[in-house]
Amino acid sequence: MGTVFSHDYVTSLYVNNKVAVSDGIKLYGNQKKCQEKSIAFKTRVQLACELIKDHVCRAKQTIDLWDSWFMCQNVVEAARKRGHNWMGEIKSNRIAFYDQKKYHLHELVDKLLSEGNFCDVIVDGEVFQACKVGVFLPKIGYVSIVVNGKADSKDIHLLCTDLVGCSVEDIVGHTLKRHRIEDSYKQAKVLGLGEYRFRESEAALIHAHLVFLACTLLDVLRRRLLRYSIVKNMLSLGATVERIRRKTMHLFMHKVKSSKGPFRSLLRIIDKN
* Mean predicted confidence (pLDDT) in 88-107: 94
CA-to-CA separations, 254 to 83, 114, 242, 246, in angstroms, rounded: 54, 73, 18, 12
**Which pLDDT does position 126 carry in this prediction?**
86
Residue 113 pLDDT > 90: no
pLDDT digits (tens, 9 = 90+) for 225-235: 999 999 999 99
pLDDT digits (tens, 9 = 90+) for 194-227: 777 667 788 888 989 999 999 999 999 999 999 9
Strands (E), the chain: 8-16, 19-28, 63-66, 85-89, 95-98, 101-104, 119-123, 126-137, 141-150, 156-161
Residue 119 pLDDT > 70: yes
Amino acid identity for residue 206 in this structure: I
262 versus 127: the higher-pLDDT residue is 127
Task: Give the DSSP H/E element, type plus range, for residue 177.
Answer: none
**Which pLDDT does position 249 carry in this prediction?**
81
Name the band, by pLDDT with cuts 50, 70 and 90, for residue 3.
low
**Percent of the chain beyond pLDDT 90?**
51
pTM of the predicted protein model: 0.82
Instruction: Report CA torsion sign: 73, 70, 29, 177.
Output: negative
Residue 246 pLDDT > 90: no
Least trusted range by pLDDT, from 119-123, 124-128, 248-252:
248-252
Q: What is the DSSP letter of 75?
A: H
pLDDT digits (tens, 9 = 90+) for 26-55: 999 888 888 888 888 999 999 999 999 999
Name the band, by pLDDT with cuts 50, 70 and 90, for residue 250.
confident
The rounded mean pLDDT for the chain is 87
Residue 137 pLDDT > 70: yes
* Angle subtended at Cα 56 by Cα 51 and Cα 57, rounded to the nearest 5 degrees: 115
Measured distance CA(136)–CA(96) in Å, rounded: 6
Q: How many residues does the chain have?
A: 273
Measured distance CA(112)–CA(132) in Å, rounded: 10
pLDDT digits (tens, 9 = 90+) for 138-171: 999 999 999 987 766 677 889 999 999 999 999 9
pLDDT digits (tens, 9 = 90+) for 48-83: 999 999 999 988 999 999 999 899 999 999 999 999
| Bridge partners of residue 262, in order along the sequence | none
Q: For residues 178 and 11, is the Cβ–Cβ distance under 8 A?
A: no
Name the band, by pLDDT with cuts 50, 70 and 90, for residue 266.
low
**Which pLDDT does position 198 carry in this prediction?**
65
CA-to-CA separations, 227 to 196, 218, 220, 230, in angstroms, rounded: 34, 14, 10, 8
